[in-house]
A and B are shown apart, each in its own frame.
Chain A
Amino acid sequence: MQPDSIAPWPTAAERPGRTKAPDAPGLALAVLGALAMLAALAMVFLYAPRERTMGDVQRIFYFHVAAAWVGFAAFAVTCVASVAYLARRDARHDRLAHSSGEVGLAFMAMAVVTGSLWARPVWGVYWTWEPRLTISAVQLGVYLAYAMVRGLVEDPERGARFAAVYGILAFVTVPLSWFAIRWWRTIHPDIVTGGGGMGLTPPMVQTLLAAIVAFSILYLALVRARVRLEASAERLARLRLAVEEREEEMGRGR
């Protein structure tokens, strides 16, 4: 179990005065994501048919579902990275888990907000305890808790471990919540929403897929940027520590 270098003096390539090369893959992802979003927006507004009962407002559905799916997938990544971190204690796995969890939280929040905005014109209320909204609220609660665990613990290494533990525990309970809430609302169908789903025609399915693809690329771009940011922050903290230690040693005249 080796730590990252204790005294990471800058290498020749990194001396002050030189700037590092821009992150080409990250940039490519961001551009690709932007293009995919534009394409998805075009499909949502121009290609997808107008829904029979709800009208144009139904178009939020594509972003709502895409955000929820990507959010869930992000948390799956967090869970797997957490398992890897507990097994190997490699900081890279922790950074991935952390970043994916944060980005997933953002997508989940988006899912809840879009769901709420959709509910208002369709059902007349911003919120109702129908299965999809309820489960996304529970998931949001879980992701928020995950985001908080790390900060609540003094020691960063312990914080990373606890976050990993919670990432795993939370992820195994989310599907169980999903089942529970689904069955609950099957027994008590929502009067307000009528409890039914929508019939999806092929163009709608294609549009939904486009939205999911666009959000997924966005997710990859965001996670990559976040992981690199985290790595830089850790490197900075260690450099500071190394400088402090070296100053101390020089001060003591050894």
Chain B
Amino acid sequence: MTGARDLDGTLVAARGVVKRYGMRMALAGLDLTVAPGEAVALLGPNGAGKTTLLRILALLARPTAGEVRIGGLDPARRGDAIRRQIGYLSHRTLLYGDLSARQNLAFYARLYGLSEGPRRSAALLERVGLDGRGDDPVRTYSRGMQQRLAVARALLHAPRLLLFDEPYAGLDAAAAALLDGLLAEALASGCTLLMATHDLTRAQALCTRYVALERGRAVAEGAWEAMIADDRVAPPVAEGRP
């Protein structure tokens, strides 16, 4: 996904996406587009399909039906090219508890084939405030520290598309402010953000657009200011209020 493609209308295009787990319909025909450089909040109650959608866009899951294009590329054919550009954050940290922060980041740097792995790892560790504990096993970290390291992992390879699933969960005020800063920087440098969250205040500060999911479908979307006025969005959002 180089410069020319970023000028395409959409960075993320999902059409009629269905995802079935056994008899459970996690996504029941979802359409979504995200333009390059946008910051979109993904709203909805638990079980609405936000996590499933993000997993599919991160190429961690295959849709049962429907079409997904990222940067105009087909995941089935250009999966690796897409993966290089995706930064994903989830409820789980995706870290190896027995290894240190440095070792975890070094490992991911090797997987992504980053030429400046050590330098970037060190810089990110410092940025998230973990370089003091960099050599301790991740198992000994608090939940907040682990989440901070997970953010570092997600941003390590300088991805252009950020798919974050409830990134503020479990963060204390300082860590949350840190994440705010990192996301703002990323957005300023032209990254695209699709963030599932229940934290409306933070979402409002960062995001220009919202998409509301319910029962596996997109039920409402629009610019942020319009959301407060939109009746359709109010009930699911109210459920999600912390």
Contact = CB atoms under 8 A, between A and B. Distances in A.
Interface string B18-45: 1011110100000000000000000000
A155 B22 contact: yes
A156 interface: yes
Interface of B: 18, 20-23, 25, 62-65
Contact of A157 (B18, B22, B25, B63): B22
A3 B18 CA distance: 9
A241 B25 CA distance: 10
B23 A1 contact: no
B28 to A, nearest CB: 8
Contacts of A154: 22
Contacts of B20: 3, 157
Interface in A217-254: 237, 241, 245
A2 interface: yes
A155 B21 contact: yes
A156 B22 contact: yes
A151 B24 CA distance: 18
B65 A3 contact: yes
11 contacts: A1-B62, A1-B64, A2-B65, A3-B64, A3-B65, A154-B22, A155-B21, A155-B22, A157-B20, A237-B23, A241-B23
Contacts of A241: 23
A188 to B, nearest CB: 47
Contacts of B25: 245
Contacts of A156: 22
Interface-centre pick from A1, A156, A237, A241 (highest chain B CB count, 10 A): A1
A225 to B, nearest CB: 25
A6 B20 CA distance: 10
Contacts of B22: 154-157
Nearest to B21: A155
Nearest to A245: B25
Q: Sorted from nearest, which 7 A-B pairs have the closest CB atoms? A: A156-B22, A155-B22, A3-B65, A3-B64, A241-B23, A2-B65, A155-B21
Interface in A105-164: 154-157
A87 to B, nearest CB: 13
Interface in A1-35: 1-3, 6
A115 B21 CA distance: 43
Contacts of B63: 1
Contacts of A6: 18
Contacts of A1: 62-65
Nearest to B66: A1
Nearest to A248: B215
Nearest to A159: B22
A154 B22 CA distance: 8
Contacts of A157: 20-22
Contacts of B23: 237, 241
Nearest to B20: A3
A155 B18 CA distance: 16
Nearest to A249: B215
A63 B65 CA distance: 47
A198 B163 CA distance: 69
Nearest to B28: A6
Contacts of A3: 18, 20, 64-65
